[in-house]
């Protein structure tokens, strides 16, 4: 097996050319988001998926303008630039195929509950015994050690346990704590998994040895509390503070305008220019607002005065004026509005595909811009099992007759007719 053969199976070019990643993940971002980052960077990422029941019909092409089903759209957001091989890990033959892939792989990334891979006979110890260079990475809710290691986790429960929800919300006394709208509980773990994998690849060039990573989503949430941890552990209490910046900056946070919300982040050095821009130079001499301490002491009056002043225009007009004045403030955007920002097109942050099923579908771009790799487009996510034959043939050298026999016995599967984007278990 040469690196070139692996690299030829990558969907896009990039710095991780020739790195073979086997993905054993459900739908959740704690897995698929991490492997997608590796795929965006040029790794050959193969999703190992369960063969479907029967022979599902190919997904019909959609006329332009017709909506994709929500579940298929979900997989598009997390699986571009990957390949898919359907292998039944519960069958002895399927398991043997996977073991052969693990012998030549660089990374096996899973987000199953701890113990699941062991039950399949595919635990880290066995895989690393077969291939000492292998980097195994497991991402789970609570990690493989500790009293909660067997418990299931959801993004919302992880966000609660990690502390982030206790500092997120409206600040009104009886309102509930708020989770971040995006599933950072899962995504946070995926980021740390990718960093650990890449660091282990670096070491492997020196030592020749792989590694076994055990990433817990809860640990990632705790780490992201960052600079609040030392004060919190020495007695500082943190609560949601929607109208106060980290350093006590004020005015701060969301304010209603004539139409739409505008979000301010006015640190001391911008106060004078902000008062002027809002048409209230007299605030600079107002004893309630002169210093940041004054503004903090008169928070309600300040927020009322700022809200009244912001009624003069809508959020888009305030955006124009704040940018022109170089003062930190931002219109609160919806997601479609956010992708209309002028930088999005310049920076390839909204990317479409040329595929009959996916005409008009767009995904977020890769935020890592590399000078050696100008953006050259994304590959559409693979249909279920679309690359099974290529993976078995090109990577393992299994002849066609053998592949066919394995398919006949349902140890592996690929579609005969065309791409199948419906997957059995999509969130």
Partner 1 sequence: MDEAAPDLPLAGIRILDLSTVVAGPFGSEILGHLGADVIRIDPPPADPPLPAKAPGDPVSEAEGFLWALQRNKRSLCVDLKHPEGRALFLDLVRRADVVYDNFRPGVLQRLGIDYPALRAANPRVIACSVSGYGSFGPWAEVGAYDVTVQALSGAMSITGTGDGFPCRWGVPIGDIAGSLYAAIGVLAALEERARTGEGQAVEVALLDGQLALHTYRVPQAFGAGVTFDAPSPRRGGAGTVPYGPFRCGDGAWIVIAVASNFWRRFCDVLDAAEWIDDPRFVTLADRQNNQEALDRLVETRLATRDAAAWEAALTARGVPVGKVNTIREAMLQPQAMARAMDIALAAPGGRTVHVAGSPIRFAGEPAAPQRPPSAKGADSGGILVEVLGLPLERIAALRARGIVGEGAA
Of residues 10-69, which lie at the interface with partner 1 (CB under 8 A)?
14-19, 29, 33, 37, 41, 67-69
Residues contacting 88, CB < 8 A, separation 6+: 50, 51, 94, 410, 411, 412, 413
Q: Tell me how far apart the alpha carbons of residues 185 and 30 are, in angstroms, rounded to a whole number.
A: 8
User: Which string of x and - marks every residue 185-204 that binds partner 1 (by CB under 8 A)?
Assistant: --x-x-xx-xxx-xxxxxx-
- Where do we find the tokens 């980290």? 246
Report how far apart, in Å, the C-alpha atoms of 210 and of each of 65, 126, 197, 421 are.
47, 13, 9, 34
Of residues 366-395, which lie at the interface with partner 1 (CB under 8 A)?
366-372
Of residues 239-268, which lie at the interface with partner 1 (CB under 8 A)?
240-242, 245-247, 252-254, 261, 263-265
When asked if residue 99 is in the footprint of partner 1 (CB under 8 A), the reply is no
When asked if residue 106 is in the footprint of partner 1 (CB under 8 A), the reply is no
Determine the distance from the C-alpha atom of residue 285 to the mean position of all C-alpha atoms in its chain, rounded to a whole number.
47
Give the CA-trace dihedral at 312, 315, 320, 326, to 10 degrees. Answer: 90
Binding residues for partner 1, rule CB under 8 A, total: 154
Of residues 337-366, which lie at the interface with partner 1 (CB under 8 A)?
337-339, 341-344, 346-347, 349-350, 358, 360-366
CB 346 to partner 1: min, Å = 5
Of the residues 10, 25, 89, 216, which one makes contact with partner 1 according to CB under 8 A: 216
Of the residues 63, 227, 282, 401, which one makes contact with partner 1 according to CB under 8 A: 227
Q: Strands of 96-233 (E only): list them.
A: 107-110, 135-140, 211-216
User: Which string of x and - marks every residue 163-182 that binds partner 1 (by CB under 8 A)?
Assistant: xxxxxxxx----xxxxxxxx
The closest alpha carbon to 339, from 351, 330, 324, belongs to 351
The answer to whether residues 52 and 424 touch, using CB atoms and an 8 Å cutoff, is yes
Among the residue ranges 76-84, 95-103, 306-314, 392-400, the one whose residues contact partner 1 (CB under 8 A): 76-84
CB 145 to partner 1: min, Å = 6
CB 229 to partner 1: min, Å = 5
**Nearer to partner 1 (CB atom), residue 2 or residue 416:** 2
The closest alpha carbon to 194, from 77, 24, 39, belongs to 39
Of residues 294-333, which lie at the interface with partner 1 (CB under 8 A)?
323, 326, 328-333
Of the residues 49, 88, 110, 214, which one makes contact with partner 1 according to CB under 8 A: 214
Q: Tell me how far apart the alpha carbons of residues 388 and 86 are, in angstroms, rounded to a whole number.
A: 6
When asked if residue 225 is in the footprint of partner 1 (CB under 8 A), the reply is yes
**Coil, strand, or helix at residue 404?**
helix
**Nearer to partner 1 (CB atom), residue 25 or residue 216:** 216
Q: Tell me how far apart the alpha carbons of residues 212 and 66 are, in angstroms, rounded to a whole number.
A: 45
**Nearer to partner 1 (CB atom), residue 358 or residue 391:** 358
- Where do we find the tokens 């009056």? 301
Cα first-last separation, the chain: 36
Of the residues 60, 90, 115, 150, which one makes contact with partner 1 according to CB under 8 A: 150
**Nearer to partner 1 (CB atom), residue 224 or residue 389:** 224
When asked if residue 152 is in the footprint of partner 1 (CB under 8 A), the reply is yes
**Nearer to partner 1 (CB atom), residue 202 or residue 281:** 202
Q: Two tokens at 247?
A: 């350093």
The answer to whether residues 190 and 139 touch, using CB atoms and an 8 Å cutoff, is yes
Ramachandran sector of residue 384 (left: φ over 0; alpha: ψ -120 to 50; beta: rest): beta
């Amino acid at each position: 097996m040469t690196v070139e053969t692996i690299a030829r199976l990558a969907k896009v070019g990039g710095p991780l050319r020739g790195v073979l990643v086997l993905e054993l993940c459900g739908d959740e971002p704690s897995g698929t988001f991490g492997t997608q980052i590796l795929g965006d960077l040029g790794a050959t990422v193969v999703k190992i998926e369960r063969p479907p029941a029967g022979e599902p019909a190919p997904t019909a092409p959609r006329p332009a303008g017709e909506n994709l089903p929500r579940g298929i759209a979900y997989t598009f957001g997390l699986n571009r630039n990957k390949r898919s091989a359907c292998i039944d890990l519960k069958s002895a033959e399927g398991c043997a195929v996977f073991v052969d892939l693990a012998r030549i792989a660089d990374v096996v990334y899973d987000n199953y509950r701890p113990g699941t891979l062991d039950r399949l006979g595919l635990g880290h110890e066995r895989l690393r015994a077969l291939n000492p260079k292998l980097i195994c990475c497991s991402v789970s809710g609570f990690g493989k050690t500790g009293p909660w290691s067997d418990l299931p986790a959801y993004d919302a429960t992880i966000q609660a346990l990690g502390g982030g929800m206790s500092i997120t919300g409206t600040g009104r006394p009886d309102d509930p704590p708020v989770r971040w709208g995006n599933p950072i509980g899962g995504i946070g773990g995926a980021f740390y998994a990718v960093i650990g994998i890449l660091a282990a690849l670096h070491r492997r060039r020196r030592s020749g040895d792989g590694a076994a990573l055990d990433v817990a989503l809860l640990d990632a949430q705790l780490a992201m509390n960052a600079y609040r941890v030392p004060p919190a552990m020495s007695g500082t209490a943190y609560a949601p503070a929607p109208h106060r910046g980290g350093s006590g900056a004020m005015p701060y946070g969301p304010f209603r305008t004539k139409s739409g919300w505008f979000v301010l982040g006015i640190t001391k050095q911008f106060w004078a220019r902000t008062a002027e821009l809002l048409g209230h130079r007299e605030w600079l001499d107002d004893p309630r607002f002169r210093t940041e301490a004054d503004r903090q002491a008169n928070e309600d009056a300040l927020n009322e005065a700022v809200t009244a002043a912001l009624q003069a225009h809508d959020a888009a007009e305030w955006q124009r004026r704040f940018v022109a004045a170089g003062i930190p403030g931002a219109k609160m955007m919806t997601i479609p509005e956010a992708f209309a920002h002028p930088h999005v097109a310049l920076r390839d942050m909204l990317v479409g595909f040329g595929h009959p099923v996916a005409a008009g579908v767009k995904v977020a771009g890769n935020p890592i811009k590399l000078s050696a790799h100008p953006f050259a487009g994304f590959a559409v996510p693979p249909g279920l099992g679309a690359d099974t034959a290529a993976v078995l043939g090109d990577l393992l050298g299994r002849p066609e007759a053998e592949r066919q026999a394995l398919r006949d016995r349902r140890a592996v599967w690929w579609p005969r007719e065309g791409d199948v984007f419906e997957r059995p278990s999509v969130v």
